[in-house]
């Protein structure tokens, strides 16, 4: 079976909450992979985090998100350069943690919808990513571009849009990152969208349609499992659920009510569900 993981922000209230104790929480819940949010990559003690991973026999995956000040699609070249530098810091951090990839919103700012020409922004995105993939190769870390729903992003809402960017950048270090929460909104059929990604699928998130843990809600997991098998997916299976309305994390992800009474128990249930549902992938 493929390694299963959980995004550590599941337990965070603030985006800069200490990640070190959350690795043990992930391990205790039954996961093999801890996914790190690299939103402040320069502030993390990578040595301590890597030591804890090694001590617990855990693996790492990493994700991040660009903002208005690190927008690699921006008309201002200085802002694009800041975005490339930010992604470089994330890639270097991912390498220190032993993560094979850096996923998330790595190609445009999250939650930002510009008024200017999106075609020009797409061209600047491609040009920026051509620089970023060189850095990715230097660090031996893949870049994964996450397909977002229309309410959180505009540049990649479909696999076709992501593949078009991959084709333009033309690097084996650029892949797609799919998430069932977003696919449930944008895809006519989730399995078909996974199959369209094919060999370019680099990272996968298992999340309920309402951002609860997998096993809740109405995601067609049989369809997901078969599609992952069909494309020969070999990456991690990570849940990135957000169930706690507390603090800036809950507010930032639009979680307005408590979606799990006991976070630790729900995490264990998520691990058990993924192990059972995806054991043949």
Catalytic residues: 146, 240
> Helices 221-230 & 190-197, crossing angle to 10 degrees?
20
178: phi then psi, degrees, rounded to nearest 5: -110, 150
Task: Report in angstroms the alpha-carbon separations of 40 from 64, 118, 194, 210, 220.
Answer: 9, 27, 31, 27, 35
Provide the pairing of β-strand 101-109 with 142-146.
parallel
Among left, alpha and beta (phi > 0; psi -120 to 50; other), residue 98 is: left
Looking only at the bridges linking them, the beta strands covering 4-7 and 33-37 are parallel
Of 33, 54, 20, the residue nearest 101 (C-alpha) = 33
Alpha helices in 140-232 (DSSP H): 159-169, 180-186, 190-197, 221-230
Residues 6+ apart with CB under 8 A from 228: 194, 204, 278, 281
Token readout for 13 is 């209230």
Lookup: tokens for 94: 């991912």
């Amino acid at each position: 079976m493929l390694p299963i993981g959980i995004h550590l922000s599941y337990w965070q209230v603030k985006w800069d909450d200490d990640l070190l104790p959350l690795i043990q929480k992930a391990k205790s819940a039954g996961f093999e992979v801890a996914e790190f949010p690299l939103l402040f990559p320069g502030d993390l003690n990578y040595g301590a985090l890597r030591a804890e991973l090694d001590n617990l026999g855990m693996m790492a995956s990493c994700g991040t998100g660009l903002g208005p000040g690190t927008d690699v699609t921006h008309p201002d070249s200085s802002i694009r350069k800041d975005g490339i530098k930010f992604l470089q810091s994330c890639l270097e951090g991912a390498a220190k943690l032993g993560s094979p990839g850096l996923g998330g919103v790595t190609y445009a700012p999250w939650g930002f919808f510009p008024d200017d020409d999106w075609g020009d922004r797409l061209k600047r995105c491609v040009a920026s990513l051509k620089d970023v993939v060189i850095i990715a190769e230097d660090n031996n870390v893949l870049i994964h571009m996450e397909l977002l729903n229309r309410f959180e992003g505009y540049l990649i809402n479909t696999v076709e849009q992501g593949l078009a960017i991959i084709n333009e950048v033309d690097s084996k270090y650029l892949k797609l990152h799919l998430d069932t929460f977003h696919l449930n909104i944008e895809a006519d059929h989730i399995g078909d969208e996974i199959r369209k990604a094919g060999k370019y699928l680099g990272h996968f998130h298992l999340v309920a349609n309402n951002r609860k843990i997998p096993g809740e809600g109405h995601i067609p997991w049989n369809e997901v499992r078969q599609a992952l098998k069909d494309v020969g997916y070999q990456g991690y299976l990570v849940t990135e659920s957000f169930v706690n309305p507390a603090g800036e994390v809950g507010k930032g992800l639009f979680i307005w009510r408590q979606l799990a009474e006991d976070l630790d128990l729900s995490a264990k249930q998520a691990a058990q569900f993924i192990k059972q549902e995806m054991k043949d992938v």
